[in-house]
């Protein structure tokens, strides 16, 4: 969020003088010695920016107090009042408001001098700011147009920004707010305003890591020199060297379909400098390698099954629009490894309970019964998987016993009771992960104990949680942060396979 700096950091005295002086204050003329000293240093000091924080920034990210590097922060009284009004409750907003208040208490309790001169910010939450925190310590008159009521907190904050702008015209005073209308009003009044971007993993979702790379037609010409090749455990390995290797990540899939009838599908298993080792991927499109009766219908589904069935990969993220097969592939892989290979003891399924329309109210029953209406997607996919498994013998009784066995190995859990748990040898599926915040995602992923595989499914184009965007979603966050780790993998599914109606609707609507 920080742009090129327009003033040097220097002196807290400069900052104090800018915030503390009144518009009527007069500056004494400089002495000749001072003028001489100034002439010797032609480099002009750059002024650090002053950011005025709206309440929703603190309630969105309490650590935002420490994320402005060398720049200064100003908190109006209206921001503190609103923060106090939102501290009660069990929601994430209330928890964040309480945490922000604790941070402020820690900062203010260290002050020994005049608080109006600003408080030096210290390292916290992995950040090392060098700026200062200023609190509103004087009454500021409402100098906005008469059509903006003075009693509204948003307008009081805008009047503070205008006052600071007039007080320090040489400084870049900016309002930081998550409220779009607040930013529009600020710009209409000629005030600088911007969104809080520090929580976003990336600015443009089109730049999100896809987990797949298409090899250029001349790849083998530029990377095939001194290439080594060998076979092991039914896989072919290639050690390649070249300029494209530094752009690769471990567990990324590469493909070359220009080689004729047999295209190359491979995984990057090692990478060091300009040298990488490629391992041919298993062909899950062939019925011989079907997973619980399911075969891959396209290239990306084949890559996804390679990750899901790989015991060395502990964390898998699958992105894709509706109908690309994310849930079906995850369930099929889970059932195969739980019931056939006995690699995991059971499948645990969870998701965020964010309604699309009006909330239907309280639901009766146990935790699992309350979660059942939210798990319709898993029920539909279980029906598909049971249908593919009914070709075996045993008659109707055998099929019913199989369905009961399958359901007995699938546990549905609520996010509300995940704190403090540890899952050992479990296959954990987190559905609709795009609706999770980065903090919630961290809470879930850190539940994994020894032998547990975590699979996150989602579509960042369908976010239902307020204040979350494609750039700040917890799913985007983990895709970006886990990229290149030896025990994680990601694939963005591109083609829908649900039906021609669903594919066309996803494309045109």
172-217 confidence digits (pLDDT tens): 999 999 888 999 999 998 999 998 877 665 555 567 889 999 998 8
pLDDT, mean of residues 227-244: 91
Q: Residue 357's pLDDT is what?
A: 54
Q: In 10 A of CB 6, how many CB atoms?
A: 12
Residue reference for tokens 């409750």:
89
What stretch of H or E contains 350?
strand 346-351
The residue length of the chain stands at 509
pTM, to two decimals:
0.71
Q: Residue 403's pLDDT is what?
A: 74
Mean pLDDT value across the chain: 81
Q: Residue 487's pLDDT is what?
A: 94
DSSP H helical ranges for 147-189: 153-167, 180-188
DSSP bridge partners of 458: 319
> Would you say residue 496 has pLDDT above 60?
yes
Residues 438, 482 contacting (CB under 8 angstroms): no
**Which residues are CB-neighbours of 437 under 8 A, at least 6 positions away?**
92, 465, 468, 472, 473, 474
What are the pLDDT digits (tens) for 309-366? Answer: 999 999 999 998 888 889 899 999 999 999 999 999 999 988 877 655 555 566 677 7
CATH architecture label of 47-194: 3-Layer(aba) Sandwich (3.40)
Q: Residue 398's pLDDT is what?
A: 63
Q: CATH 3.40.50.300 region(s) of the chain?
A: 290-508
Here the tokens at position 154 are: 């948003």
Q: What CATH class has 206-280?
A: mainly beta
> Would you say residue 153 has pLDDT above 90?
no
3 state DSSP class of 198: coil
Q: Residue 6's pLDDT is what?
A: 38
Q: Residue 17's pLDDT is what?
A: 41
Q: Choose between 383 and 274: higher pLDDT.
A: 274
The segment with the largest mean pLDDT, out of 221-235, 306-320, 482-496, is: 306-320
Q: CATH 2.40.30 region(s) of the chain?
A: 206-280
Q: What is the number of alpha carbons within 13 Å of residue 13 lying toward its C-beta?
A: 0
Residue reference for tokens 């976010």:
463
3 state DSSP class of 302: helix
CA 231 – CA 149 distance, rounded (Å):
76
pLDDT, mean of residues 5-30: 41
Q: In 10 A of CB 80, how many CB atoms?
A: 17
> Would you say residue 29 has pLDDT above 70?
no
CATH architecture label of 290-508: 3-Layer(aba) Sandwich (3.40)
User: pLDDT class for 383, splitting at 50, 70, 90?
Assistant: confident
3 state DSSP class of 144: coil
Q: Which of 155, 151, 121, 153 is nearest to 135 (CA)?
A: 121
């Amino acid at each position: 969020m920080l742009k090129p700096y327009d003033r040097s950091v220097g002196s807290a005295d400069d900052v104090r003088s800018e915030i503390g002086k009144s518009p009527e204050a007069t500056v004494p003329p400089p002495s000749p010695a001072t003028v001489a000293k100034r002439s010797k240093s032609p480099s002009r000091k750059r002024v650090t920016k002053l950011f005025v924080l709206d309440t929703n920034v603190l309630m969105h990210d309490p650590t935002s107090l420490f994320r402005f590097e060398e720049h200064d922060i100003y908190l109006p009284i209206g921001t503190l009042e609103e923060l106090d009004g939102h501290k009660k409750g069990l929601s994430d907003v209330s928890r964040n408001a309480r945490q922000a208040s604790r941070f402020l208490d820690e900062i203010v309790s260290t002050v020994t001098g005049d608080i109006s001169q600003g408080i030096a910010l210290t390292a916290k939450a992995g950040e090392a700011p060098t700026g200062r925190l200023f609190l509103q310590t004087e009454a500021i008159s409402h100098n906005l147009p008469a059509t903006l009521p003075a009693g509204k907190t948003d307008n009081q904050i805008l009047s503070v920004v205008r006052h600071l702008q007039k007080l320090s015209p040489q400084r870049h005073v900016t309002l930081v707010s998550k409220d779009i209308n607040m930013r529009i009003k600020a710009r209409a009044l000629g005030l600088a305003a911007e969104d809080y971007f520090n929580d976003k993993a990336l600015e443009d979702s089109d730049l999100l890591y896809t987990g797949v790379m298409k090899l250029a037609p001349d790849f083998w010409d530029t990377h095939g020199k001194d290439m080594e090749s060998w076979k092991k455990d039914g896989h072919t390995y290639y050690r390649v060297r070249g300029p494209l290797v530094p752009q690769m990540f471990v567990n990324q899939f590469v493909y070359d379909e220009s080689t004729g009838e047999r295209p190359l599908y491979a995984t990057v298993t090692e990478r060091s400098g300009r040298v990488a080792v490629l391992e041919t991927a298993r062909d899950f499109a062939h019925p011989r390698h079907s997973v619980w009766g399911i075969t891959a219908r396209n290239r990306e589904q084949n890559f996804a099954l390679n990750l899901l069935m790989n015991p060395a990969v502990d964390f898998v993220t699958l992105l894709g629009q509706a109908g690309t097969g994310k849930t079906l592939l995850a369930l099929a892989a889970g059932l195969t490894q739980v019931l056939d290979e006995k690699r995991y003891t059971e499948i645990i399924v969870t998701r965020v309970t964010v309604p699309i329309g009006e909330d239907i109210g309280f639901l009766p029953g146990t935790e699992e019964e309350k979660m059942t209406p939210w798990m319709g997607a898993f029920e539909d996919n279980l029906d598909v998987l049971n249908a593919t498994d009914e070709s075996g013998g045993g008659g109707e009784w055998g099929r019913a016993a199989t369905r009961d066995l399958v359901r007995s190995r699938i546990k549905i859990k609520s996010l509300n009771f995940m704190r403090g748990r540890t899952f050992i040898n479990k296959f954990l599926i987190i559905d609709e992960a795009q609706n999770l915040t980065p903090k919630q995602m961290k809470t879930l992923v850190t539940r994994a104990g020894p032998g547990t595989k975590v699979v996150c499914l989602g579509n960042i184009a369908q976010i239902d949680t307020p204040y979350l965007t494609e750039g700040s979603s917890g799913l985007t966050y983990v895709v970006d942060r886990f990229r290149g780790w030896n025990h994680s993998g990601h694939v963005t599914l591109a083609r829908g396979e649900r039906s021609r109606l669903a594919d066309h609707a996803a494309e045109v609507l």
